[in-house]
Structures are given as C-alpha cells and as structure tokens.
Structure 1
Amino acid sequence: MDTALELDHVTRTYGRGPHAVHALHGLNARLYAHSLSAVMGPSGSGKSTFLQCAAGLDRPTSGTVRLAGREVSAMRERELTRLRRERIGFVFQSFNLLPTLTAQENVLLPLRLDGKRRDPVRARRMLARVGLEGRADARPGELSGGQQQRVAIARALITEPDIVFADEPTGALDKDTAADVLGLLRESVSAYGATVVVVTHDPAVAARADRVLRLADGRLAEETARVPA
C-alpha cells in the first residue's frame, strides 16, 4: 500500500519553560492512500495538533511530516500555501462556506483562489455526486446543515487532492445526518479513490474507518485496522 501521510517523531511544544504545553510527544504514524483513517482521542489528546501539523497548517517543533513523499515540515510558507491549495482538501465542523456565494461558487472557490479555470459543469457534476443535484444556485442560508456539509465535501474534492482532512465533520450534525455525511466520506474513498483522514471523537467514524489511530497525551496509544467482512 502506498503511504499518503507519514509523521516521524513529531513533537509540538507551545511556549517555553515550566509553562510549556507539550501537545505531541515524538509521534510516529503512517496512513495509507485510498483509505479512510480516523484519528481519535479525548479532549487534550493532541488530535487538533495532529491535523494542524499533518496538513501543513502548523510546523512541528521537531520531527518530520511527509505528504505523498514530500517533506511538508521543511517547506517554505509559499510552498505550503500552494500545496494546501493544490493537493489538500479540508472539511470543517463549521462548514466554512461563504454565505454570499452559491453552492456552485463555493465549490469552485479553491480553483478561483489558485487562478485556475472555473468549470461550472464540473462543479454541478460534483454537487450531484454528493446528492445536491438541482441545488447549485442555493446559498448556504437556504441549505440545511447536512446539505452545507455536502457542499464542503464537494469543495474539498473539486481539486482532486492527494488527501482530504476532515476536522470533526459530523460534530454539528444530528445522528442521522451525520451518518449520511460519514457514508459520503466513505464513498469518496471507495468510488473516487480519495484518501481521507477524519479527526473525531465520534465512535461511529471509527466503525467505518479502515484504520483508527487513538491518541492520548500527545502520543499514539493504539492503532487498529478494520478487518474486511
């Protein structure tokens, strides 16, 4: 299996001296391409810091992060910005849609920011894939929470990224809607070959993931792989 993401002895410390906060302690982790991986743990376990360092949003204090074979932790800020725009997709708990833009315009936003040609047909096709056919002209305020998260997933996939990071993507949704969104993330792996890393506290995510990493006090406490049925 190809490695999509590798963290090698990653440490992240905030502050100095006796008041320093050690969010990650020499963390080693390897996640594989074309799979759904869940990163779990209680509050303060290091889940958010894991995502920040893995996605190039924060730099580790020490250690290395490699994404699709490229050392993210050694890149300059301009390189990181381009990497995030071209090779990484993001899905957040709060959706992060622009309220003045339509669903179609929100989906095309990553291409617009990167100066690439915006293809409305492609955006509508992506919206149809996530179950929003006919809602391309709706604005976020006209959509339910689950529908907004579907737009966010379409936006994350429009650039065909190497990896999608989803930060508590079901946290703001009711149980049934959360299950639908989780199924959509699962489908993006099986149908479209995406690589998805979900940072979550939801055990339902772990039940659908190919691999589960459980963090505790900034360390990898347990790693399990799903046994095919």
Structure 2
Amino acid sequence: MSGDWAVELHGVRKRYGRGGSAVHALRGIDLTLPRRSFTAVMGPSGSGKSTFLQCAAGLDRPSAGTVRLGGTEITGMKENKLTALRRTRLGFVFQAFNLLPSLTVEQNVVLPMRLAGRRPDRRRAAEVLAQVGLADKARRRPGQLSGGQQQRVAIARALVTRPDVVFADEPTGALDTTTAAEILSLLRQAVDTQDATVVMVTHDPSAAAWADRVLFLADGEIVDHLERASAERIAARMTALTARPAFERAAA
C-alpha cells in the first residue's frame, strides 16, 4: 500500500529547455522509500542529485511521472496546497542554515508553525531543542551560536512539526568533521528514536555511511545502491562510478 511508504517516485523525469538543447536532469526515477528509514543520495557533479531532492520534496515539479509523500500524491497539487503540505508534513535542512537572525532560537524553531497558521507550541519547541542539545539556548540569537549549533537549530526546526519526511541537502557541507558527525548522529537518532524518515543528498562518503541505504545517481538515473555500507566502501563505489564514461553507465 502507498501508505506504507514515506516517499514514492514513479517514472519521474525532469527536463529543462526544449529540442536539441534540452537538459534531461532526471530520466525516469522509480523509487520507494519506507517510513523510519535514512537514505543517502550520492553521485557525480551534474548527476541530478539536487533535482531529485527538489522534485521529491515538492520544491520543483517533474516534467513527467508522479511523486507521493506519506501516501499523498503531490504531482498535480495546487501551489497553495503544496505549500501548506511542505510547512506541516515536511522538514528541511540545508547546507546554509537559513535561520532568521532577528529571531531567537525558539522563534526560529516554531516558524513552520507560524507560517502554517498554527499557534506556536513552545512546549514542543523546548522538547526538540532538548533533543538536539540546545535546551539552554532558546533565547539566544543565531549570531550568538557556532555553526554547528545553528545547524542543530535547523534540525530542531525541521522536526518540530513531526514531519513525514526530512529532506537534507548537504547538511554537513559547511561544518568541520567533528561537528558534522554530531549533526549526522542527530539525524540518525531522529530515525531510530523519533520515527522520522530522512532523505539526504551528500557528496561525503563518511556522511552517507550513517544511512541505512545509499543510492547512486548518474546522468539522471539511479545506477547503483548499497545497504549499510562503510565510508570506505561507499567511496570506492563513487570512485568507480565517476571513472566510467557516460555511455558505459547508460548501458549498465
């Protein structure tokens, strides 16, 4: 049943432009991701990773195919309903923390609730801030926090509405190795202890190793995957994939 899946993509294609100059960013993605799973998406530059995430999260519309989130088809959804769905049922964590500097940490965390027209739940905000180790920083401004602490706030903001799926785009790209591991541990905990579903785009094999499953994109297609793999094994697979010419990948 569709309700058993957090994310479903069926025949998803994305084309930019027309005719001979058209760019085919996605070439027919068929994918189902179970609830309470952590999936990493990797691939060479230009492989379609960002387009995949944008289409899967309803930030961009595919040229063909269907996308379902938590059993709800979003492909033909009107923009106002899609916006409401993103605010209430999805969470986002990006490389840039995207916090509003004029707001306190708590106010940033409850912002999705305000944007959805709901009364901010300060108790829930305190709960998720405690989960990310920032219980004592609720009244601080983002500028008073380290980069790692700001990303923790972003994770708390992503989790505050108990979303169906958290989409993370290079969430550790701007962080040092130690801080990155702390952030990835929080995402892992969200899956293991809070029943979250995480889909993360990353270029870092060490980050991907935290996931249950790693998908490899090349030339707009899913060409390989690994289950619960080490960083070394993921890096080796990426190296092999990047070294193969495009026509060989297409034939595989």
Partner of 1:180: 182
| Deviation per residue, 1:148-183 (Å, 9 max, x gap) | 000000000000000000010000100110010000
Name the larger-Rg structure. Answer: 2
Task: Identify, as 1 or 2, the structure richer in helix.
Answer: 2
How far is 1:210 from its partner?
A: 0.7
Q: Secondary structure at the match of 2:75?
A: helix
Partner of 1:105: 107
**Partner Cα separation in structure 2 for residue 224 and residue 33 of structure 1:** 18
**Partner Cα separation in structure 2 for residue 164 and residue 52 of structure 1:** 12
In structure 2, stretches of 5+ residues that fail to align are: 230-252
- Which structure has the higher relative contact order (CA within 8 Å, separation 6+)? 1
**Partner Cα separation in structure 1 for residue 76 and residue 148 of structure 2:** 37
In structure 1, stretches of 5+ residues that fail to align are: none
Partner of 1:11: 13
- Which one-letter code corresponds to 2:25 in the other structure? A
Q: CA RMSD in A?
A: 1.2
Partner of 1:124: 126
Normalised to the residue count of structure 2, the TM-score between the two structures is 0.88
Partner of 2:145: 143
Partner of 2:244: none
Residues paired across the two proteins, number? 227
- Are 1:164 and 2:166 counterparts? yes
How far is 1:225 from its partner?
A: 2.0
Partner of 1:153: 155
- Which one-letter code corresponds to 1:82 in the other structure? A
**Partner Cα separation in structure 2 for residue 33 and residue 125 of structure 1:** 22
> For 1:86, which of 85, 88, 98 is the aligned residue?
88
Runs of 4 or more consecutive aligned structure 1 residues displaced over 3 Å after TM superposition = none
Q: Secondary structure at the match of 2:135?
A: coil
Partner of 2:78: 76
Identity %: 64
Normalised to the residue count of structure 1, the TM-score between the two structures is 0.96
Partner of 1:198: 200
